[in-house]
Amino acid sequence: MQSDKNINTNLASQSYWDEAYAGYSLQDKVADDDIVKKWLLKYIPKVNGASCMEIGCFPGRYLTVMGDLGYKLSGIDLTPRVKNEFPAWLKKEGYDVGSFSQEDFLKFNPQEKYDMVCSFGFIEHFTNWQEVFLKHIELVNDNGYLVIETPNFRGWFQRFIHWFLDNENYKRHYIPSMNPDKWAKLCEKHGFEIIFKGHIGEFQFWVDKLPTTYVRTKVFNRLITNYEKLKSMKPGKPAYAPYCGIIARKKK
């Protein structure tokens, strides 16, 4: 995950991410029933040797999904683990590895473009998210794919849960950025066809820290008690789906 371009644009500091990932085991690959993984496998074709660049790539849980689909993997992040440890681990796991950069994404100026440019839980930490989004677009090859996913804190039910139960984490996210319709307009303006745009998955929620006050604990416990009932609601609804996403292909 990226650090601040300046203090006003990034709502999550690099020190937050470095601390969060300090003890993260790279062996913890994403499960087969993961909502985002199933979404990717539904829409992304298998390839052999096409290039994939993930923005804010560490710890690369979904980058390995792209590797399993045949992509050559590259990435950029500011965490120190991305420079040596992460690509070495990917090679050990048998993935085709390209280049990895430890630098600010908005200052990133590679000499190549990529057949896949993706990010997962990245753009929503920037108040200048449109600039960040367009930087993704600039890196996509003709006929290449753009894949962007964020959590959905914008739908009214998800917004209340995260604001009320996990406000410290909520404030690290820029809610207006979580808008697939705006993403699609930017893509279409720059010559992309939309393959998917919208909200992903059945109801889920998470918190960084368990609530401590009486009222918040009561609300949290009520959600847990009714969790299976809430999960049974129709998936992909903006009010309560856990994720937003877009998959678009750049026209030649």
Cross-strand bridge partners of residue 198: 245
φ, ψ of residue 149 to 5 degrees: the values are -135, 140
Distance CA 130, CA 174 (A): 12
| Amino acid letter, 227 | Y
pLDDT at res. 25: 74
Domains of the chain, residue spans: 14-155+172-204+236-250
User: Which residues have C-beta within 8 Å of that of residue 85, sequence separation ≥ 6?
Assistant: 26
pLDDT at res. 252: 79
pLDDT at 1 over 70: no
pLDDT digits (tens, 9 = 90+) for 137-157: 999 999 999 999 999 999 999
Sheet holding 97-102: strands in order across?
Answer: 97-102, 72-77, 51-55, 114-120, 140-151, 243-250, 192-200
Percent of the chain with pLDDT over 70: 93
pLDDT at res. 3: 35
Mean pLDDT in the chain?
91
Residue with tokens 């829409």: 43
Greater model confidence, 25 or 78: 78
pLDDT at res. 126: 94
pLDDT at res. 7: 35
Which tokens hold the place of 28?
Answer: 């913890």
pLDDT at res. 10: 75
pLDDT digits (tens, 9 = 90+) for 184-220: 999 999 999 999 999 999 999 999 889 999 999 999 9
Find how far residue 46's CA is from the centre of its chain. 20
**CA angle 107–129–13, rounded 5-degree value:** 70
pLDDT at res. 14: 76
Angle, helices 214-225 vs 156-165, to 10°: value is 140
CATH code that applies to domain 14-155+172-204+236-250: 3.40.50.150
pLDDT at res. 19: 74
pLDDT at res. 28: 73
Mean pLDDT value of segment 95-110? 93
Cross-strand bridge partners of residue 118: 54, 147
Q: Quickly state the pLDDT bin for 4 (edges 50, 70, 90).
A: very low
pLDDT at 6 over 50: no
Least confidently predicted of 16-20, 35-39, 116-120, 219-223: 16-20
Greater model confidence, 240 or 24: 240
Count of CB atoms situated within 10 Å of the CB of 41: 14
pLDDT digits (tens, 9 = 90+) for 27-85: 777 899 999 999 999 999 999 889 999 999 998 899 999 999 999 999 999 988 898 89
Q: pTM of the full predicted structure?
A: 0.91
Least confidently predicted of 27-31, 114-118, 238-242: 27-31
